[in-house]
């Protein structure tokens, strides 16, 4: 099993933790990942990190698909891969309706359809077997819809793609996970209980079967795992509960919250309903208090070093089974936390 590091979102100012990134690189971490919402973008920050490192791979978790055409994403990936010595990894995501329509001003549409079409076009561009043509529901190349001049023609990338560029996607719905297993090289579950792989097992198997000739060994699973060291377990869990309450309670409308549905599939149906009710009523502190200790403990590593070593065995067993290939540690992981996990994973 490999280790990766998330850098997180920007706040009102942008600061990339190069010291901690270089420490992770020296410890043998496989990858570091940038993010974007509606502030700093993931590509510029990934470029900065690539320019200041020499061995560690750098990926985007995620680039918002509606913000870029598939061709632009492919051009970006090929350029960064050439300049970095093949160290760039593409990470894609649909984002959500609030950001897509409110920030980018485009229809949210069908995220699963978009993912499959988007990656199909990117892979055509990478392959350079012929000028790219595509006739999909969301993308057409050349474009011939409303406002088209009729002058567009199929093109082949000038820049050659010498090595395969891995493509990951962020998914947690069964349909999204199925699509990722079919067309992508890996996916990011926002959190994961390593002992509940059954939540993903069926859609992954269906997606791999649809891909024909693809098996679980060809597909990476890279969940986000927070590591919080400290003697006071309740205190360590507090920021994680705040974050999980935001996702379970506030990421989306009452009728459409993928993270809420995911918490229910993990076995916390009653708690998920209560967290959402409280959060949407403006009672964020109370919502966080309702996040079960068991859910936090299942998906993250908290407490003293010895406890984390013990709890990490679940992750190592999942790694041996191929159910987890990379643990992506949170942006708030301390140097001590990086060292601890590097020692555990070996």
What is the pLDDT, as a whole number, of residue 256?
84
The model's pLDDT over 304-327, given as tens digits with 9 standing for 90+, comes to 999 999 999 999 999 999 999 999
Instruction: For residues 105 and 98, give the distance between their C-alpha atoms in angstroms, rounded to a whole number.
Output: 10
Q: What is the mean pLDDT of residues 95-104?
A: 92
Please report the beta strands in 227-290, taking only residues with DSSP state E, as ranges in sequence order.
227-229
Band of residue 6 on the pLDDT scale cut at 50, 70, 90: very high
In 3D, which of 115, 112, 63 has the Cα closest to residue 91?
63
| pTM of this prediction exceeds 0.85 | yes
pLDDT digits (tens, 9 = 90+) for 120-160: 999 999 999 999 999 999 999 999 999 999 999 999 999 99
Alpha-carbon span 345 to 320, nearest angstrom = 11
Six-digit token pair at 68? 């870029």
Q: Tell me how far apart the alpha carbons of residues 250 and 253 are, in angstroms, rounded to a whole number.
A: 7
290 pLDDT tier (thresholds 50, 70, 90): very high
Q: How much is the pLDDT for 303?
A: 99
The answer to whether the beta carbons of residues 191 and 200 sit under 8 Å apart is: no
Which pLDDT does position 253 carry in this prediction? Answer: 81
Residue 193 vs residues 10, 147, 196, 298: alpha-carbon distances, Å? 27, 48, 5, 5
% pLDDT > 70, the chain: 100
| Paired strand residues for 186 | 168, 220
Residue 247's pLDDT band (cuts 50, 70, 90): very high
User: pLDDT averaged over the chain?
Assistant: 97
Query: In the predicted model, what is the mean pLDDT of residues 247-273?
Result: 93
Four-CA torsion 203, 205, 208, 213, nearest 10 degrees: -170
Number of Cα atoms under 13 Å in the Cβ half of residue 139:
21
Long-range contacts of 240-245 (CB under 8 A, 24+ apart): 240/291, 240/296, 240/300, 240/302, 241/288, 241/289, 241/291, 241/296, 242/284, 242/288, 244/191, 244/288, 244/291, 244/295, 244/296, 245/275, 245/279, 245/284, 245/287, 245/288, 245/290, 245/291
Statement: residue 201 has pLDDT above 90: yes
For the chain, the domains span: 2-226+303-345, 231-302
Query: Which architecture does CATH list for 2-226+303-345?
Result: Alpha-Beta Barrel (3.20)
**pLDDT for the residue numbered 46:** 99
C-alpha span between 42 and 64 (Å, rounded): 9
């Amino acid at each position: 099993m490999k280790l990766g590091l998330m850098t997180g979102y920007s706040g009102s100012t942008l600061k990339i933790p190069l010291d901690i990134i270089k420490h992770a690189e020296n410890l043998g971490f496989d990858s570091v990942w940038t993010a974007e919402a509606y502030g700093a973008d993931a590509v510029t920050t990934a470029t900065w990190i690539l320019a200041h490192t020499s061995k560690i791979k750098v990926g985007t978790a995620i680039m918002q698909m509606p913000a870029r055409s598939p061709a632009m994403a492919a051009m970006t990936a090929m350029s960064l891969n050439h300049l970095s010595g093949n160290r760039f990894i593409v990470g894609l995501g649909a984002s959500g309706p609030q950001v897509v329509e409110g920030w980018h001003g485009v229809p949210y549409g069908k995220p699963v359809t978009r993912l499959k079409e988007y990656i199909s076009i990117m892979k055509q561009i990478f392959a350079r077997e012929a000028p790219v043509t595509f006739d999909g529901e969301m993308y057409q190349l050349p474009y011939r819809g409303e406002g088209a001049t009729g002058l567009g023609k199929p093109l082949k990338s000038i820049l050659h793609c010498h090595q395969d560029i891995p493509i990951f996607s962020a998914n947690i719905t069964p349909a999204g996970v199925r699509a990722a297993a079919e067309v992508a090289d890996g996916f990011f579950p926002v959190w994961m209980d390593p002992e509940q792989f059954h939540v993903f097992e069926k859609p992954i198997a269906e997606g791999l079967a649809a891909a024909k000739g693809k098996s679980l060994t060809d597909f990476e699973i890279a969940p986000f795992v927070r590591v919080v060291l400290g003697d006071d377990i309740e205190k360590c869990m507090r920021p994680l509960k705040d974050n999980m309450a935001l996702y379970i309670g506030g990421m989306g409308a009452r009728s459409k919250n993928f993270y809420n549905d995911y918490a229910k599939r993990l076995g916390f149906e009653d708690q998920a309903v209560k967290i959402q009710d409280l959060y949407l009523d403006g009672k964020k502190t109370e919502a966080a208090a309702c996040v079960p200790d068991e859910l936090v403990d299942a998906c993250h590593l908290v407490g003293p070093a010895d406890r984390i070593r013990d709890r990490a065995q679940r992750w190592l067993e999942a790694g041996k089974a191929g159910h987890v290939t990379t643990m992506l540690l949170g942006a708030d992981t301390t140097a001590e936390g990086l060292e601890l996990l590097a020692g555990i994973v070996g």
